[in-house]
Amino acid sequence: MSKMPPPNLIDSVDYETALAEMVASLKARFQGAGIAFDVEALETDPAVIIAQEFAYRLTLFEQRLNERFVSYLIDYSSGATLDQLAAFYDVKRVTGEGDERLQKRTRLAIAGRSAGGPAERYKSIAFNASSDVRDVKIYSDPHGIDPSIHVAVLSTATGGYASDDLLLSVENALQAKRVTSDRFHVASAVRKTVDVALDIWLTPDASESALEGLGDALRGWWENQDLLGLDLNHSDIITAVKTIGSGAISNVKVVSPQGDTEAWPAEALALGLIDVRFKGRGR
């Protein structure tokens, strides 16, 4: 939902439209009282100045009203307001926890409210076990041989490796709230590093400075994803690079890796060396 345009409580009117409507209303009122008013284009006229002030305050009020309305939706909420929304679902912010993680835990708590669980229930329990849990993947043996519920834990530590203490905390939390027949296999997620090489063509008028910091920005984009089990696809890389380039990039070719890189459920791909190569313009 956070990737969708935020909803509005009311339909806002832009300043120019509001001003035109107010001036037209003033003109009609003056004419109704038998007073000529033909200076609506004169910005120094007192009536026009008053209309400008009211039009500005109206649009500002409508903007604030919509912003306040949106702040009561979990995906757009923050700070104390988010704390209150989360508390309604018995979710409390832990020390040092940011808004994005609290939003995620609250959504999981809502989705996993069934006692028998969907996977979201166990994922929510795992997240609540420790603030060191960055991401969790709940999956079963794809071959159907092992009936255990597999739980892959990606930690907030550098490299994402989950310590034995963290894994034990997650397992204990799951065992305390499990369904009788469920068995868990809790393990650290595996980080696999993938080097990326990009050939990039800029638009005719773009400065080559548009490529500065592109690699770091691309790495930041990837690290903000839910990484466990997430494939690294050429199409996603190209879209991200063009978005980062803000119209300065004409074309992108992913030279490496060759083809899309698949991640198995307990694997989190990391971007290693990112080689950005300027190939020309306007291709």
Q: What is the pLDDT of residue 144?
A: 64
- What is the maximum alpha-carbon separation in the chain? 90
Q: Is 279 exposed, middle or buried (0-12, 13-18, 19+ CB in 10 A)?
A: middle
135 neighbors 189 (Cβ within 8 angstroms): yes
- The residue among 221, 2, 218 whose CA lies nearest residue 99 is 2
Amino acid in position 42: L
Tokens 């020309």 locate to 280
User: Buried b vs exposed e over 78-101: b needs ≥16 C-beta within 10 Å?
Assistant: eeebbeebbeeeebebeeeeeeeb
For range 73-101, the mean pLDDT = 91
Q: Sheet containing 190-202: which strands, arranged edge to edge?
A: 249-256, 190-202, 267-281
- Low-confidence winner among 106-120, 162-176, 179-193 (lowest mean pLDDT): 106-120
Q: What is the pLDDT of residue 114?
A: 63
Instruction: Give residue-wise pLDDT tens across range 218-264.
Output: 999 998 888 889 999 999 999 999 999 988 999 999 999 999 999 98
Provide the percentage of residues in the chain whose pLDDT is more than 90.
48
Q: What is the pLDDT of residue 180?
A: 64
Provide the percentage of residues in the chain whose pLDDT is more than 70.
94
CA distance 205 to 281: 9
pTM, entire model: 0.64
CA distance 237 to 252: 9
pLDDT band per the 50, 70, 90 thresholds, residue 3: low
Q: What is the DSSP string of 250-270?
A: EEEEEEESSS-B---TTEEEE
What average pLDDT is seen over the chain?
Answer: 88
Tokens 């037209």 locate to 24
* Higher-scoring residue by pLDDT: 24, 6: 24
Half-sphere exposure in the Cβ direction for 129 (13 Å, CA): 30
User: Given the DSSP bridges, would you call strands 184-188 and 190-202 parallel, antiparallel or unpaired?
Assistant: unpaired
For range 171-180, the mean pLDDT = 84
- The residue among 165, 152, 83, 162 whose CA lies nearest residue 119 is 152
For range 39-47, the mean pLDDT = 79
Q: What is the CA radius of gyration of the chain?
A: 27
User: Given the DSSP bridges, would you call strands 267-281 and 190-202 parallel, antiparallel or unpaired?
Assistant: parallel
CA distance 249 to 207: 10
Domain ranges (residues) in the chain: 15-70, 129-188, 194-281
